[in-house]
Each structure stands twice: as structure tokens, then as C-alpha cells.
Structure 1
Amino acid sequence: MTLYDVVTLTVKIGSNAQVFESIKASGDQSGSKLLGCWYSDIGVLGQVLVLRGFESEAALVSERKRMLLEGNPFGCGECVTDVKIDSYSLFPFLPPIEPAVHGGIYEMRVYGTKLASLQHTIDAWEKALPERTQRSPLIGAMYSLEGAVPRFLNIWPYASVDERSRIRAEAVKDGIWPPKGGPAHLTTMESTICVPAPFSPLR
């Protein structure tokens, strides 16, 4: 799978458990695979994020239409006050995202880039990632297919917030991250620290 979406649900206060049960019960849809479910812990609070992979572009579009027309995302619409859906394509040199247990926290980082800078960014990441992922694994990096573009999402798991800070600081100090020339092409930066739901395939 190289096509993904992230469904961000803004949920009513105190409804996380109910929302999780509904998402778990929904499971995989036709042509899609549930890969991760998290709630925001640092950043914009009150959000539940769902990552899904798709077998094809047709499957992604079909599932998007179904969700919009039903108007009841994951069967928990009564708990939801806002929905945002973003579609992504995996950086071409990366392997498909697979379920795994990493523990702790996940960081969702979204960067905007200058026009005509996306390919440069992908190339820079391909060169820099082998050394960077010796410090901590990367779940995936993918560029947005819609909305405010160009921008890309990268997902990193860590054992804790303290471990994240230590690893990132060491990578910068050692000159292996960020990718050489990468920051000059960025326009915006956004980060959310998330905690996996108990049933999340990525957790």
C-alpha cells in the first residue's frame, strides 16, 4: 500500500472510550486497512486520529464517498464535532506502513514546503534517513494529495517525550538531521504528540 488517509475527529470531551470502541468495531473497510488510532496529548487536544492504508486510488475515493454520504464516521458521529480527512502518497523509497508495537508516544509532524520543492525534499530524505533511523524508527513519510499543498506528514514513534527530545537533540548535534538543505525549503511546521488507543495496530 502506498496510498493512505488520516481522518482527524474532533470529539466531545469525555467521549474517547466510546469513540475508540466504534472505530475498533468498524475495523477494515472494503479496500482499506486500519493501521493506527491515536488521541492527541500535546498540541490541539480533543482529537482522535485514524490512519488507514488503501489498495488503490479507486478504493480510497470509494471509501471517502461512503464516509461522506453516510455522515457517521466510524459509527460514532454523535460524539464528533468536526471531521478532517487528508489523503497522502508514501514517499516512493519507503516500504508500506505495517502494524507494529513501538510503545509510548507517536509524533505527527506536518511540514509545508515551497512550490517545486517536494521532489527535492523526497530526495534529501532518502539520503538522510538511513542514518537517522538508526536512532529511532520512522513509521512513514508521505506527501499530501489535496488541500494546502505541497506539504508532507511524517510519523515517528518514541518510548516517551523525554526520549524524543534526547534523540532529536543528538541527531541535530551530530549533523545527521534534518536532511541537508531540507529546512530551506520549508514554509510551515506543525507537530502533535499522540498516544495510541489500546486496540491500535500501530501502538
Structure 2
Amino acid sequence: MYYELATMTLPFGSAGTAAANVQAFATAPEARGELLACWFTDIGVLNQMIVLRGFADEQDLLAERARTQHSASPFGCGEIFQSLEQHSYQGFPWMKPVRPSAESGISGPVYEIRTYGIKPGGVQPTIDLWQQYVPPREVLSPCVVAMVALDGPLRFTNIWAYPSLDARSKARADAVAQGIWPPKGGPAHLTTAMVSTIALPTAVSPLK
């Protein structure tokens, strides 16, 4: 599966309108792909809306990127957002495609979006280690997706769902205590370019 993470920086008080416009844009008859999530940041860089869309193949991703870039109002928010970034990803090949909460049973409402830089030669070892270590880690909390960036610096983004911030803290502490996370040897393939964001679903988000 291919994915796009789009991040819009919004002015105060515009999140509700922006979310409705995102939904309309992403579900228009001419749109490619599928709206999977529409979050608003709660911890990290604030006043940002993060939109996750999924695509069956790279051609659909590129076609939708072109539609967005040529639109007079990308995501229906061209006159609202202060900035827009779009980044393309390919999911780790062994992971199931991201599905809405109604189909997958995965829900937050607390989502952690983590991005790690990868050292040269570290992509395949990271994919392999995560394939080994994610199943026991998911006993504590579900991994929504792990995906490698197709543009920009070499990096991958992983998204986790938690029922609360307290549950996040407990799951992470338990994973370390049990020795099941982080993957043994995994940090050796990563750079120190790491960022984490906590975001909550908007009313239109299929991932709740």
C-alpha cells in the first residue's frame, strides 16, 4: 500500500471547517485513494491538521498528488491554511493495509505519529526487525502503520493508537520492561532525527 501524509498549519478556530472541507475534497468523484484519518495535533507542533490517505498503487498516489497540487484550493482549504506539506510513503510490505476503525477495530482516540531518520542501508534491516518485533508489541497497543518515505530525507513514520495518554505511557513502559521493544539492534540503523506528535481524530476521521 501507498500512503500520503499531508500536514496543514491552520489559524485558530478553523479546524472544524477545515476538516469538513478535507472530507469533501478527499471523497469527491474525481479523487483517487481513500481518506483514512484526519487528525488535529494535541502535543507537538500545534494548530496542525494531519491527513492520512491510502492508495492501492503508486500511480493513484501520483495522480492524486497532481490533482491536489493543481487545485486552486487544495483539500478545500486553500484560503484557510497557512502552509501545506505533502509526503509520500510506502507501507512496510508485510503490514496489513490501514483500514477505518469500523473495519479494523483499531481506535484511539490518542494517536502517536513518530518519524525516525534512517541511516544509509538501514531500510531493509528496519523492515525485517519490525516484522519480528511488532507482533508481540501489538499485544500492548496496535500499530496502525509503519511506512518508508518516498521523498525527502530517508526516514520512516510509524503510527500507534492508544485509548489515553496514560495507556500510552503504560504500554511503552511495559514493552521495555518485557524486552520486546524497541527491536533489538533497531536503533543502530536510525539517526537522531526523531520527532513525535500526539494527535486526536476530527469528526470526519475514519480512524476514530
Q: TM-score range by the shorter chain?
A: over 0.9
Letter in 1 for 2:179: G
The residue correspondences of 1:31-50 to structure 2 (distance < 5 A) are 31-50=32-51
Q: Which moved more, 1:33-42 or 1:69-78?
A: 69-78
1:169 equivalent to 2:166? Answer no
Letter in 2 for 1:141: A
Q: Is the 8 A contact 1:144 1:153 kept in 2?
A: yes
What TM-score, normalized to structure 2? Answer: 0.93
What TM-score, normalized to structure 1? Answer: 0.96
Q: Distance in 2 between matches of 1:184 and 1:27?
A: 38
CA-CA distance at 1:27 after TM superposition:
3.5
1:92 corresponding residue in structure 2? 93
Q: Distance in 1 between matches of 2:111 and 2:83?
A: 22
Aligned pairs, number: 201
1:12 equivalent to 2:14? Answer no
Q: Distance in 2 between matches of 1:184 and 1:31?
A: 37
Q: Distance in 2 between matches of 1:69 and 1:199?
A: 24
CA-CA distance at 1:173 after TM superposition:
1.1
Runs of 4 or more off by more than 3 Å in structure 1? none
CA-CA distance at 1:67 after TM superposition:
0.9
2:58 corresponding residue in structure 1? 57
1:25 corresponding residue in structure 2? 24
Deviation per CA, 1:85-120, whole angstroms, max 9, x where unpaired?
010000011011100151321000000011001100
Q: Which moved more, 1:99-108 or 1:23-32?
A: 23-32
CA-CA distance at 1:58 after TM superposition:
1.4
Q: Distance in 1 between matches of 2:143 and 2:115?
A: 14
1:153 corresponding residue in structure 2? 157
Unaligned runs of 5+ residues in structure 2 are none
Q: 1:195 aligns with which of 192, 200, 204?
A: 200
Give the % identical residues.
Answer: 46
CA-CA distance at 1:31 after TM superposition:
2.7
Letter in 1 for 2:117: G
Q: 1:183 aligns with which of 174, 182, 187?
A: 187
Unaligned runs of 5+ residues in structure 1 are none
